[in-house]
Amino acid sequence: MLSSKVIRTLSRYRMLDPGDRVVVGLSGGADSVALTEILLELKPRLGIELVLAHLNHGLRAEAEEDERFCRALAEENSLPFAASRVDVAANARRSKRSIEDEGRRARYEFLEAERVRFGARRIALGHTLDDQAETFLLRLLRGSGARGLGAIHPVKDGTLIRPLIEVRRGEIESYLDGRGRSFRSDASNLDPRFTRNRIRHEELPRLSSAYNPRLAESLARSASLLRDEEEWMEEATREAFAAVALASPEEIRLDRNGLSARPLALRRRLVRAAIERIRGLQNVSHRHIEDVLALSEGAQSGRELHLPGLLVEISFRELRLRAQAPKPRERGYNGFEYRLSIPTEVRIPECSGTLSARIAEGSREPEGANGDAVVVGFEGPVPELKVRGPRPGDRFHPLGAPGSKPLSRYLMERKVSRELRPRVPLLVRGDSGEEILWVIGHGVSETSRVSSGAPRLAFEWVKP
């Protein structure tokens, strides 16, 4: 008996409790009419209240008759009825979604609004075991992973329930026929232009006939097993994410060592979880996740990867993900420049610091590469000096090094992250091709080496 099967499904997935008010999504088709009839039959036993809700999508000439049919069914059973209309086709054009996706979005939005309005706890939908098998096969053909192959969840988001998810479509048709209950037919369900219809009417019957008469049940069982395993893997992902990730509203930072120590399947899930948190998963493919992993495992600091709505960057031992790629950097330096007189003390707000300069007393050598106080020597008179930000093409010859190197590489070696490099102040000569004398807070240049008898200037950099 069909009602007994539905009772087992309700119990197995803990779908309903006594006293629950349930909004039933009623399209007028066989599945939703059967769902309404079965819940009405079980209503006294379950101790529940029902509200029928119908959304007119504005897609079919028969839409007005569908709505009247649903309203009549509610009146016949003295049930509250909610109806609304939406132009799905127009909304799909504006949102650039398919009509199917836009219709689904509009339907769930409408049902949730009615659930809240009626103070209901659940929304009941008429998906069947055949829908489950079709969804599994459709996603398999698209290359979905375990999450997608879990297909249709019997209970979703704590509110959506699918009491018919273990019932075959043929059982539903027999049930309605036995009760003399009519329903509305949608000709678009036969249109072979829709992939799901081809799977429903062509591929599944062909595969069932050739290989397995109970293929739909087998596919639904596989979906159930994968949902159970997905639940376990999601818990493992949450635990691992807490161990390797630091999250803020602007970015997520993954520890590269912690990431690489996990199995490949878990690494994929951790990257996917980071992307989902920072910008959602729309338009994110398996290839994108593989590209992020390849960047993490092989790239040097400073390398970037641009994905749809996402910037991924290597910063030493971290993999950083930001919701939107930053605006392209200006192809000049970052806008600050201060000329120096001796003695002087100048505040540089762009770098949140103050630089002081004076004539040096004594013959002290420049401090180590990390010094914030240095002595700089010159040959000849004291040159024109200024402090500015880094420019593209800047090169620097560190004290004691055999030659010069790009300033960007020097700062990378000093473990200065990419976003902080434009704010590193530079002491430069203004009279000899902008030669860098001191990367402030880091190191002095070879040409600034103090020699006997040469003029010397002392500089100190102070940050609050």
Contact between 67 and 54 under an 8 Å Cβ cutoff? The reply is yes
Task: Reply yes or no on whether the pLDDT at 268 is more than 90.
Answer: yes
Contact between 319 and 305 under an 8 Å Cβ cutoff? The reply is no
8-to-5, 15, 128, 263 alpha-carbon distances in Å: 5, 10, 14, 38
Q: Which helix (H) or strand (E) holds 407?
A: helix 407-413
Q: What is the spatial distance between Cα 454 and Cα 64, in angstroms, rounded to a whole number?
A: 95
Q: What is the spatial distance between Cα 69 and Cα 155, in angstroms, rounded to a whole number?
A: 28
Task: Reply yes or no on whether the pLDDT at 95 is more than 80.
Answer: no
Tokens for 431, please give them: 């009279």
Identify the CA nearest to 290 among candidates 309, 300, 305, 280.
305
- Position 334 scores a pLDDT of 52
- Position 47 scores a pLDDT of 96
Q: What is the spatial distance between Cα 48 and Cα 23, in angstroms, rounded to a whole number?
A: 11
Task: Reply yes or no on whether the pLDDT at 274 is more than 90.
Answer: yes
**Chain segment 47-68, per-residue pLDDT in tens:** 999 999 999 988 878 889 999 9
Residue with tokens 């004691």: 400
Q: What is the spatial distance between Cα 30 and Cα 114, in angstroms, rounded to a whole number?
A: 22
- Strands annotated E in 7-48: 21-25
Task: Reply yes or no on whether the pLDDT at 106 is more than 60.
Answer: yes
Tokens for 103, please give them: 């219709």
DSSP reduced 3-state for 154 = coil
Q: Work out the number of other CB atoms within 10 angstroms of the CB of residue 348.
A: 20
Q: Work out the number of other CB atoms within 10 angstroms of the CB of residue 33.
A: 25
Q: What is the spatial distance between Cα 86 and Cα 58, in angstroms, rounded to a whole number?
A: 6
- Amino acid letter for position 445: S
- Strands annotated E in 113-229: 122-124, 155-156, 160-161
What's the predicted TM-score (pTM) here?
0.67
Alpha helices in 180-214 (DSSP H): 195-198, 204-210
Q: Work out the number of other CB atoms within 10 angstroms of the CB of residue 32.
A: 24
- Position 330 scores a pLDDT of 44
Tokens for 13, please give them: 């997935």
Identify the CA nearest to 221 among candidates 161, 150, 157.
150
Q: Work out the number of other CB atoms within 10 angstroms of the CB of residue 34.
A: 27
Tell me the pLDDT band of 363, cut-offs 50, 70 and 90: very low
- Position 332 scores a pLDDT of 41
> What contacts 24+ positions apart, CB below 8 Å, involve 208-215?
215/133
**Percent residues over pLDDT 70 in the chain:** 92
Give the domains, in start order, of the chain with CATH numbers: 2-224 (3.40.50.620), 248-322 (3.30.465.60), 337-462 (no CATH)
**Chain segment 372-408, per-residue pLDDT in tens:** 888 887 766 667 788 888 988 888 999 888 888 899 9
DSSP reduced 3-state for 460 = strand
Average pLDDT score over residue span 317-340? 67
Q: Which helix (H) or strand (E) holds 10?
A: helix 2-12
- Amino acid letter for position 5: K
Q: Which residues, other chains included, contact 358 with Cβ-Cβ below 8 Å and sequence gap of 6+?
A: 342, 343, 457, 458
Contact between 409 and 439 under an 8 Å Cβ cutoff? The reply is no
DSSP reduced 3-state for 242 = helix
Q: Which residues, other chains included, contact 156 with Cβ-Cβ below 8 Å and sequence gap of 6+?
A: none
Q: What is the spatial distance between Cα 366 and Cα 256, in angstroms, rounded to a whole number?
A: 36
Q: Which helix (H) or strand (E) holds 345?
A: strand 344-348
Compute the radius of gyration of the chain from its Cα atoms: 34
